[in-house]
């Protein structure tokens, strides 16, 4: 089931995120987060009115998703971006799709205009998922990041929420 995240979920969220940091290019962060850093992130988003959801099954958090401001400048106030992370043992089970649909609905309800996805250029499964939901490809920044001793391309997709 998908529900609003609470501070009690932060430890599970950190564990899921840090696995992505240490083993994937789903995030370009290259150092694990502490629980304290994730509490700060959680409180910042909550204070800004940004929703954070978890997918929970049998009292275990198997994934989470959040909306975040796209950029800090006021002109971007109608645009948000999202992040979705799934526990590695639960990937490929449709949890990401359910969370993404929930984020699209939440962004529409909040009267945002554009939802942006930033995806690693090698993450073809994520690109296909976004296309299935209705996101459109909007550009690639090539060789903009380096992780695991390889250059990475950042691909942008966007969803028109109107």
82: left (phi over 0), alpha (psi -120 to 50) or beta: beta
CB-based contact 85:62 (threshold 8 Å): no
Tell me the H-state helices in the chain: 10-23, 35-47, 95-109, 124-133
- Is residue 58 very low, low, confident or very high in pLDDT (cuts 50, 70, 90)? very high
CB-based contact 38:5 (threshold 8 Å): no
The architecture that CATH gives domain 2-160 is 3-Layer(aba) Sandwich (3.40)
- Per-residue pLDDT at 140: 98
pLDDT in tens, 88-113: 999 999 999 999 999 999 999 999 99
- Separation CA 157–CA 119 (nearest Å): 8
Domain ranges of the chain: 2-160
Q: Which DSSP helix (H) or strand (E) runs through 150? A: strand 150-160
For 105, other C-beta atoms within 10 Å of its C-beta total: 12
Q: What is the mean pLDDT of residues 150-158?
A: 98
């Amino acid at each position: 089931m998908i529900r609003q995240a609470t501070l009690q979920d932060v430890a599970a969220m950190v564990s899921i995120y840090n696995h992505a940091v240490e083993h994937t290019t789903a995030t370009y962060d290259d150092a694990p987060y502490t629980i304290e850093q994730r509490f700060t992130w959680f409180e910042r988003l909550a204070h800004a009115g940004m929703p954070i959801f978890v997918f929970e099954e049998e009292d275990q958090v198997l994934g989470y998703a959040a909306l975040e401001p796209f950029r800090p400048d006021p002109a971007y106030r109608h645009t948000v971006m999202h992040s979705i992370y799934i526990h590695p043992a639960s990937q490929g089970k449709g949890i990401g799709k359910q969370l993404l649909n929930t984020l699209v609905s939440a962004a529409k309800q909040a009267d945002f205009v554009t939802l942006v996805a930033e995806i690693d250029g090698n993450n073809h499964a994520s690109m296909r998922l976004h296309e299935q939901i209705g996101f459109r490809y909007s550009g690639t920044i090539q060789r903009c990041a380096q992780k695991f001793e390889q250059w990475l391309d950042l691909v942008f997709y966007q969803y028109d929420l109107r």
